[in-house]
């Protein structure tokens, strides 16, 4: 998908997408009941869900995710259409970054402190055009 293929009207700019691994949550269905499920991707031992949330619901979703993460060894992330806003949510911390990996340093350091493997701290996708599911 390219920027040119996105609709000319801008309502999609008021939304964020959230990437959530269902196994990371105490109650995986909770978020899907409150926020729009866009798609899911299944692995052998996990299901990754992509949710849509409006700017107005953003802080509520962040709180719900933090309250429902099962441990410090998991995180979720949200991003807006162009990656100018990337939010990384851990159980005990929230980092507001951009698509620029240079802005990820505090979130990466926190994730490594929580013993999350570095290869899992890629925050992909981080803009709508990077999505593959």
pTM of the predicted protein model:
0.89
Contact 37, 51 (CB under 8 A): yes
Residue count of the chain, please give it: 133
- CA 36/CA 14 separation, integer angstroms: 14
Residue-wise pLDDT for 13-47, tens only, equals 889 999 999 999 999 888 878 789 999 999 999 99
pLDDT at 10 over 70: no
- CA 74/CA 116 separation, integer angstroms: 7
pLDDT at 9 over 80: no
Distant-in-sequence contacts of 55-59, Cβ < 8 A, 24+ apart: 55/14, 55/15, 55/16, 58/16, 58/87
Q: Higher-confidence residue: 34 or 2?
A: 34
Residue-wise pLDDT for 71-118, tens only, equals 999 999 999 999 999 999 999 999 999 999 999 999 999 999 999 999
Give the DSSP H or E segment for 93: strand 93-97
Query: In the prediction, which pLDDT does 28 show?
Result: 83
Query: In the prediction, which pLDDT does 7 show?
Result: 54
Distances in Å between the alpha carbon of 33 and those of 36, 54, 113? 8, 15, 32
């Amino acid at each position: 998908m390219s920027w040119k293929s996105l609709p000319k009207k801008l309502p999609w700019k008021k939304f964020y997408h959230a990437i959530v691994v269902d196994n990371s949550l105490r109650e995986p269905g909770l978020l899907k009941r409150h926020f729009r499920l866009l798609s899911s991707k299944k692995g052998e031992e996990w299901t990754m869900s992509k949710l849509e949330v409006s700017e107005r619901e953003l802080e509520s979703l962040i709180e719900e995710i933090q309250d429902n993460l099962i441990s410090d060894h998991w995180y979720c992330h949200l991003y807006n259409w162009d990656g100018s806003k990337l939010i990384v949510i851990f159980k005990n911390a929230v980092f507001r970054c951009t698509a620029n990996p240079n802005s990820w340093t505090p979130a990466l350091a926190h994730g490594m402190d929580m013993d999350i493997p570095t290869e899992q701290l890629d925050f992909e996708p981080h803009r709508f055009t990077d999505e593959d599911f």
